[in-house]
Amino acid sequence: MRKGIFYSVGVGPGDPSLLTFKAVRIIELCDIIAAPESGGSENMALKIAAAHIQGKQIITCPMPMTRDTEILREYHRQAAARMRGLLDEGLNIAFLTLGDPSIYSTAMYVHNLLKAAGYETLIIPGIPSFCAAAASLNMALCEGGQALHILPSCHGGEHSGLAGVKVLMKPGQTLNEALSVWRGSEIMLVERASLPNERIYHSVEEIPEQTGYFSLAIVKPAQRESTADHRPETTALPAKEYFPLFISSKGKKALVVGGGHVAARRINTLMQFSFQITVVAPRVTEEIAALHEKCKLALIRREFQEDDLQECFLAIAATDNRDVNRRIGEMAAQHGIWVSVADRQGECNFLFPAVAVNEMITAGLTSEGQSHQAVRQAAQRIRETLK
C-alpha cells in the first residue's frame, strides 16, 4: 500500500490573504490537517487556513511552551508517531505552521523525524513574519551589502558584535536586554504583523515594557550623519513632500485617542503649546491620570466614539487597536480634521513632529518616516543648543 506524503505548510504571518496559492492547493489536496497546539485560546495556524479546511479531519499535536529540550523531544516523537500511523494508511497530511516552515518552526522537528524514518516529506514555503513586519513598517529590511541576521532572541552580549540588520524573533522577556545590547541603533517592533490588531512601534521610546508573544523586533544600524561639508557642492537635495507650517494652537481642541505610553508622549508634546487637550481611553497611564488630576487635560474614560471628533482641530490615533486607529483616521479626514495615526504614516494627513522649544524659538523636525532615530538625535542636539 502506498504511504501518504507529509507536507510542512507555511501559512504566513497571520493575514489569510497572504496564504500562497501553493499552500492553498496542498491544504485542499490533503486528507488530514495537523497543527501544533500550545494551549492557547485559539490556534492561529488553523484560523488562517479556516476557509480551506472545512470538512477535513483536523488533528492538533500538543507542543508545550517550555525550554526543556527533553520534554520537547518527547512531544515531537509522540507527534511523529501519530503522523506515521496516518501516513501508513496512505493519507496525505498538511502540517500547518506560522510563517515559513524553514524558520524556527515546530513543524520541522516532526518533519525531520518522519524524513529520517523514510517517509516522503515536502516543504511548502510561506511568507515569514519578518517580511510582513518590514512591509508594515513600509521599509526595506536590508539594502546594498547589509548583512541580515535572524535571531531567536537576544541572550546577553552573545550577538552584540553582529554587523548589519538584526531580526529578533519573539524577543519577549529578553527585549529589554536586546535594547541594552544595541543601544544607539534604530530599533522598531511589530506585534501581530498583518493581523487586524497589529501594533507598530517605530522607536525605542514607543516600545512598551510588556510585549505580546507574536512580536518581532528589527534592529538597524543608526544612519550615518551627513553634513554639507561631506556633500559635493553640485549635489542637490531631492524635493521634500512635507512642508513645515506653523499654525496657531490657541484655544483649539486636540483629541488624543489612547491612554498608553505612545499617547502620553504625544500629549507631552502638545502640552508645550496652547491646545485644549481631550483624551479618550478606557484606561490610561499614571502619568496621563496625574495630568488630568492637575486639570491639564480633559479625560473621558471610555472607547472612542465619532462624536468625540466634534469641534476638533487635530486628532491623534494612538490606541493599541489597528482597526480603531484606522477608523479614527478615516473619520477625521472626512471631517476635515488634521489627524496623525501613530501606527500608519500612510493614514496621516500631517506628520507629528519632534519638537524643540525655548522662550523665543520653536523647531519641529521630521524625517518623513525614514528614520525616527535620526530625528530624535537631531531634536536632542537642537534642544541642547536652545538651552
Tell me how far apart the alpha carbons of residues 348 and 326 are, in angstroms, rounded to a whole number: 10
Q: Which residue has the cell 523665543?
A: 360
Beta-ladder partners of 356 = 363
CA distance 22 to 209: 39
pLDDT (average), residues 216-238: 60
Does pLDDT of 339 surpass 60?
yes
Cell 472607547 locates to 303
Q: What is the pLDDT of residues 145-170, one digit of tens each?
A: 889 999 886 554 566 678 889 898 87
Tell me what pLDDT residue 115 has: 96
Helix (H, G, I), strand (E, B) or coil at 90: coil
Provide mean pLDDT across the span 162-187.
76
CA distances from 16 to 108, 126, 131, 223 (A): 22, 11, 15, 35
Which domains are seen in the chain, by residue range?
A: 6-127 (3.40.1010.10), 130-220 (3.30.950.10), 253-352 (3.40.50.720)
How confident is residue 285, by pLDDT bands cut at 50, 70 and 90?
very high
The pLDDT of residue 229: 41
Band of pLDDT at residue 236, cut at 50, 70 and 90: low
The model's pLDDT over 67-123, given as tens digits with 9 standing for 90+, comes to: 788 999 999 999 999 999 999 999 999 999 999 999 999 899 999 999 999 999 999
**Residues 11 and 48 sit within 8 Å (Cβ to Cβ):** yes
Share of the chain above pLDDT 70, in %: 90
Q: Kindly report, residue by residue over 12-35, the tens digit of the pLDDT.
A: 999 999 999 999 999 999 999 999
Residue 126 to residues 56, 123, 282: CA-CA distances in angstroms? 21, 9, 38
Q: At what angle do helices 69-88 and 107-116 cross, to 10 degrees?
A: 60
For residue 41, what pLDDT band results from cuts at 50, 70 and 90?
Answer: low
